Chains A and B, each alone.
Chain A
Amino acid sequence: QKEVEQDPGPLSVPEGAIVSLNCTYSNSAFQYFMWYRQYSRKGPELLMYTYSSGNKEDGRFTAQVDKSSKYISLFIRDSQPSDSATYLCAMSDNSNYQLIWGAGTKLIIKP
């Protein structure tokens, strides 16, 4: 079993839709949860960071962590074609700074 599971997609939705991207994990010690966005032919860039459980909102983006279910989500409201990218989840625990990554979900927003 992989430490972090993420559906590679592609996920194709029409412009304006609400998008839900998800990762599940097996290590209950994970406390730091991140979402990185990677455009084609670019490196990943940090989009959202959450510590422990709860929600965090930044504009059209909401990151949600459910530690009891070992499940994290990224919601994108009013999706735009410019949101088309691969979204990578990453997480770490308190004892090891190394990030454990999901495989990434390719998202396509159709105009």
Chain B
Amino acid sequence: ETGVTQTPRHLVMGMTNKKSLKCEQHLGHNAMYWYKQSAKKPLELMFVYNFKEQTENNSVPSRFSPECPNSSHLFLHLHTLQPEDSALYLCASSQGTSRFGGELFFGEGSRLTVL
């Protein structure tokens, strides 16, 4: 495996379900991110982890719960979601969180549909 891999690629869940999205990066990077992408809207940064420590939480509802057990793995735990949470969830990694931010390397995303 190379780059950033996300599983599952597609997920359909009811509003009462609990599911998790998984991300793994094989680039030796220190920082990992979760972004939400909705149609015709800018990417929304959700969470940032740098060396396994959460450094950003952009006012994300508590029904989204991130977990970063090590610098290579990132999870997004989902529970009691709303239909408006349906979107493409992108994981990304970078070498660091410098002032420039560095190049972000994205996974292919997990397409989430909440019924």
Binding site for B on A (CB under 8 A): 2, 4, 8, 32, 36, 41-46, 49, 88, 90, 92, 94-104
Contacts and interface: CB of A to CB of B under 8 A. Distances in A.
Given A43-B92, A99-B104, A104-B42, 4 more contacts: A43-B106, A46-B104, A97-B98, A99-B43
Interface string B81-115: 00000000010100001111101111111000000
A4 B107 CA distance: 24
Interface of B: 4, 40-43, 45, 56, 90, 92, 97-101, 103-109
A44 B45 contact: no
Most buried by A among B41, B43, B90, B98: B43
A103 B99 contact: no
Nearest to A100: B42
B43 A101 contact: yes
Q: Which of B45, B56, B100 has most A Cβ within 10 Å?
A: B100
